[in-house]
Amino acid sequence: MRCSWCGDDPLYIKYHDEEWGVPVYDDRIHFEFLVLESAQAGLSWHTVLKKRENYRKAYRGFDPEVVAKFDQKTIEELMQNKGIIRNRKKIEASVNNAKVFLEIQKEFGSFSNYIWSFVGGKQIVSSYESIEELPAKTSLSEELAKDMKKRGFKFLGPVILYSHMQATGLVNDHIVSCFRYKEVSEFK
């Protein structure tokens, strides 16, 4: 049995089975998820997953050093790219966020060090019986959002950041009857 949110959609199933909830320590993957989750605001995650490969190309493999250097010309090119979500504020936020991301890497040695410090370096393992119990945000995601906003991040509030925490394994929100629940907790 798997978490019911992925239904029978092959794209969701692959994401659920291979990525969601697996602890991430690679900064580039963290940056990828931050860009995608920010782009997803107000849309479905499925919409973003379908465009993920287009984002990888458009965002040069999600290299924050490259994205931080995107200029107005590049932003205009992204606005014409039908393969991504063409929202100027979200695109501009991604460039801004790349710059802030690099500042955090300098301060903490890596973005991973920074974000994992919010959970004391250990995955929080939930014990939800159904997806209806899953919160949209928590006091911890609110604390993270407040700190990230103070540092200059945009389009990353407590709901989006809780999604990030779930996606990158800071929390394991697989329901207890899901076959990935135990596997993800032991993945560390």
Give catalytic residues, as residue numbers.
15, 37, 45
Residues 13 and 159 sit within 8 Å (Cβ to Cβ): no
Q: For the CA atoms of the chain, what is the radius of gyration? A: 16
Spell 74-86 as b/e; 16+ CB within 10 A means b: beeebeeeeebbe
SS3 124: strand
SS3 125: strand
Alpha-carbon distance of 47 to 127, in angstroms, equals 28
Residues in CB range of 72: below 8 A, 6 or more apart: none
Residue 138: φ, ψ to 5°: -135, 170
With tokens 């906003």, the residue in question is: 149
Alpha helices (runs of H) in 8-138, residue ranges in sequence order: 10-18, 27-40, 45-58, 64-67, 72-79, 88-108, 111-116
